[in-house]
Structures are given as structure tokens and as C-alpha cells.
Amino acid sequence: MGGQTGFGPIAADDDGQFFHADWEARVYAVVRTLQRRGVINKEFDNLRDAIERIPPAEYLSLSYYERWLRATEMLLAEKGLLADD
């Protein structure tokens, strides 16, 4: 879905905050930890690929860090590191 046009302007909240909720910082920390351990490659290519594979309707309903979380869940499941629940 990324890179497509026709979705209108992007609202930019430039309040100087990296995270708007504590859970967003935790998702970021989990992703960076998985990167350091080699589960997510250092260029984030596999994370970006997983984000692009989120079904369009779901992708559009998720926030930025919700997409990171969903993609991380996908990668962990695909690598057999997450239970199938």
C-alpha cells in the first residue's frame, strides 16, 4: 500500500514527540531488539516487506506503530518464533 497516491494530504503532528503513547515506544524497542538479534535485518527490509503485505483494508485502519506491530507479529510467526494463537 505504501507509495500509492490519491489518499489526500498527510496530517503532520509536529509536536516534537517521537511517541504519542507508551505502547508505541515499547513496539519501537521490541523492533530494535529483534533487529539487534538478527530477527529483523539491519536495513529493516523484511519489516518493510511485512508492512507492505498487510491486507489493504487492515493497513488503512492501522496507525504507524500498529503497522510495525502487525508486521513484527507476521515476521515472528513466519520464523516460527510466535505461537499460532
Taking only the tens place, the pLDDT of each residue in 57-71 is: 999 999 999 999 999
Residue 33: inside a domain: yes
Mean pLDDT, residues 39-51 taken together: 95
Residue 84: inside a domain: no
What is the predicted pLDDT for the residue at 82? 82
Residue 37: inside a domain: yes
Residues 6+ apart with CB under 8 A from 13: 20
| Tally of domains in the chain | 1
Residue 41: inside a domain: yes
Mean pLDDT, residues 41-48 taken together: 94
Predicted confidence (pLDDT) at residue 41 exceeds the cutoff of 80: yes
Predicted confidence (pLDDT) at residue 83 exceeds the cutoff of 80: no
Which residue range(s) make up the domain with 30? 22-78
For the whole model, what pTM was predicted? 0.81
What is the predicted pLDDT for the residue at 76? 96
Residue 83 main-chain phi, psi, to 5 deg: -65, 155
